[in-house]
Structure 1
């Protein structure tokens, strides 16, 4: 079972060794932005280690909101208050597994942890959705975990999961 620590200055050397060559933006975020966002309390990053203190992966969450039109409510069959247009959400900003540790179930373990954390946030402060911007290579993984396509842009597929459907 993996153990987490919140990212801090003491992790700089370990983070520099994180490998994610097939999705360089994931490693770049961890190495160049995650600590700054965490220290400013704009986004929270959890690092996950195995029993040998190897950095296996990480995820970063931040608070968000999403506009849900009547058409989207109907399409996804979401029961939501009719008089509201915007709903609280949590954004899964990044999730990554070091390339050396893939194929061992760690991605699913981290996603399950994301779900647990988000359910706790929703319980404490009220939140309806978990959102993310998926790289094309990861869409299947997210669909397997209950996310639905919400919209697309040039680089990403925006995906959404209603937290009470977990």
Structure 2
């Protein structure tokens, strides 16, 4: 595979061609990704082989407020809360097109997410990165990358301390 380049979603990116095999992600990419990105509801990064305009992969991040009640059973979060809530960076979607699957691009993009989270955590004090796997079979993948399960909704999270350790070369 050529050198993969990540960049913010561009207006002319041909997302209508994107197919990762997960209908929820494919439909979101085709119908909602550009609108959400343009309105700053979320920020979408696309990954390309060199200058090829067709994306091999993409992800979407947004800020959310998490409830202390949802996470408290997992770890002490009171140091981060205000009025029972705390900010989190949420990974909404991450998808790799079918032709690029199985080549490490998903892991490469996840490390980009974690590195970006570290920067946001250090600059804005965001304590947690969250995600919700599309299906239970993906949970072990995220656990290998130091996400832990929390709450009853199937959510997973990573602390800013873990992201810093991983991006400093610590073991996954």
Q: TM-score, normalised by structure 1?
A: 0.85
- Structure 2 vs 1, CA of residues 62 and 88 (structure 1 numbering), >3 Å: closer, same or farther? same
Aligned twin of 2:108: 109
Q: Is the contact between residue 36 and residue 42 of structure 2 (CA under 8 Å) also seen in structure 1?
A: yes
Residue 79 (structure 1) shift: 6.3
State the Cα RMSD in Å. 2.0
Moved runs in structure 1, 4+ residues, more than 3 A?
Answer: 75-80
Aligned match for 1:161, one of 158, 161, 169: 158
Aligned twin of 1:6: 8
- Tell me, which stretches of 5 or more residues in structure 2 are unaligned? 164-172
Aligned match for 1:76, one of 74, 78, 96: 74
- For residues 27-72 of structure 1, the C-alpha deviation after alignment (integer angstroms, 9 at most, x for no partner) is 1111111100111111000100112625210010011121123x94
- Tell me, which stretches of 5 or more residues in structure 1 are unaligned? none
1:76 match: secondary structure: coil
Mapping of 1:104-143 within 5 angstroms? Answer: 104-136=103-135, 137-143=137-143
Count residues with an aligned counterpart: 158
Q: TM-score, normalised by structure 2?
A: 0.83
Aligned twin of 1:148: 148
Q: Is the contact between residue 80 and residue 127 of structure 2 (CA under 8 Å) also seen in structure 1?
A: no
* Cα distance in 1 between the residues matched to 2:57 and 2:25: 10
- Structure 2 vs 1, CA of residues 127 and 18 (structure 1 numbering), >3 Å: closer, same or farther? same
* Cα distance in 2 between the residues matched to 1:32 and 1:152: 30
* Cα distance in 2 between the residues matched to 1:7 and 1:83: 32
